[in-house]
Amino acid sequence: MTQETTPPTNKTDKASRRRFIAGLGGATAGVAAGSIAMPNVSRAQTTTLRFQSTWPARDIFHEFAGDYAKTVNELAGGRLKLELLPSGAVVGALQLQDAVIAGALDGGHGVTAYWYGKNPAFSLFGTPPALGWKANHMLGWVKYGGGQALYDELVRDVLKLDLVGFLTGPMPSQPLGWFKKEISSPDDMRGLKYRTVGLGADLNKEMGVAVTIMGAGDIVPALDRGLLDGAEFNNPSSDKALGFQDVTKTYMVGSYHQSAEMFEIIFNKKKFDSLPKELQTVLRVASESASADMSWKAMDRYSKDLEALKAAGVKVVKTPDSVLLAQLAAWDKVIAAKSADPFFKKVLDSQKDWARRVLGFEAEYEVRTDLAYKHFFG
């Protein structure tokens, strides 16, 4: 399938692409090819890292990647600079991880669901089962529930990838998507040609959906040409920027296929390890700072852009409970099948333990918000 096709912007980009392709030709997927050890960088020098997102330049997700790069550059005090590139500048969205491993890029910003093909457990760190949790609960699991250690184990020990990664940026539950006509029951989903990613693809297949996986920039053209009957990407701001409202006016919101997702920031491990410890710390701490800022920016931008979509004639429809219940039943089947893999089960059991305790606490301890909202806003 095609991905973002923004042409390289300079000779360096073209050379990087050639090195990347040549490197992959002599190595199995997921193994670093032709990496060159970098010398230690003196305190007087500026180290520039080529850092590509998996998002089109017009997408708010690329803006989030830019916010992270800006934070790194400011904290590093001139000693380290991330040079941000959009999807397609060196490689397409779904080739980012291999490009970072091979050294064609030093780092990147994306989601773990894009690496589902290497190991389904990757998707647990981005599109896990709907355990009743939201993305910020999941980031709590990453930070304090053992999630980061399990992610590191997957990357380092299970797959032996030459990568260092940080999980960041909580996303709201994603929409069911954009459709030619309203989805009123699970039967309406059967046989639909539909775009999603990660474990959400398995979930929809269990529901009889014909799933296609593609990068962000290809979705709307495919929907416009009838190659897709429906599709989801992520949020009102991204969806508006990608132009979904230009090809359909039915926006189904609320879904269990991706009820908790977050971003992944990755770096080539050799390049990361060559940096002074304080700059490694900058890269890590900046991911946490950018994560918090993103959660607040999303509140502002997503709510405004949903109102703008409504003003443009988009019909926003809550996904009916019958579809949500069918999704939960499908999750049972996906979990049962995937848990035959011991590492997948290990990660999922850890997530369940965290969600059971933390969400149980919130249900018992926190006051209801819906009553207060209805009181003041109707």
Q: How far apart are the first and last CA of the chain?
A: 47
Residue 261 to residue 35: CA distance in whole angstroms = 32
pLDDT tens-digit readout, 138-152: 999 999 999 999 999
Is the pLDDT at 257 greater than 70? The verdict is yes
- For residue 200, pLDDT beyond 60: yes
Confidence of residue 43 (pLDDT cuts 50, 70, 90): low
Report the Cα 367 to chain-centroid distance in Å.
31
Give the list of residues 6+ apart from residue 244 with CB closer than 8 angstroms, or none.
178, 219, 220, 223, 231, 233, 251
Of 121 and 39, the one with more pLDDT: 121
CA-CA distance, 217 to 6, in Å (whole number)?
Answer: 10
pTM: 0.85
pLDDT at 251: 97
Q: Report whether pLDDT(9) > 90.
A: no
Q: Which residue has the tokens 């989805």?
A: 183
Tens digit of pLDDT for each residue in 79-96?
999 999 999 999 999 999
322-369 pLDDT, tens digit each = 999 999 999 999 999 999 999 999 999 999 999 999 999 999 999 999
- How many whole angstroms separate alpha carbon 219 and alpha carbon 211? 12
Q: Residue 215 — very low, low, confident or very high, per pLDDT cuts 50/70/90? A: confident
- Mean pLDDT (the chain) is 90
pLDDT value, residue 138: 97
Residue 240 has a pLDDT of 95
Q: What is the mean pLDDT of residues 55-81?
A: 96
Query: Residue 137: pLDDT band by 50, 70, 90 thresholds?
Result: very high
- When mean pLDDT is compared across 28-37, 208-217, 296-305, the lowest value belongs to 28-37
* pLDDT the model gives residue 34: 38
Residue 17 has pLDDT above 80, yes or no: no
| % of the chain with per-residue pLDDT over 70 | 88
Would you say residue 297 has pLDDT above 50?
yes
The pLDDT-based confidence of 44 (bands split at 50, 70, 90) is low
User: What number is the average pLDDT over the span 274-302?
Assistant: 97
> Average of pLDDT values for 256-272?
96
Which has more confidence, 45 or 375? 375
Which domains are seen in the chain, by residue range?
11-19+45-170+260-301 (3.40.190.170), 177-258+318-377 (3.40.190.10)
Mean pLDDT of 267-281: 98
Q: What is the pLDDT of residues 118-128, one digit of tens each?
A: 999 999 999 99
Please say whether the beta carbons of 217 and 279 come within 8 A. no
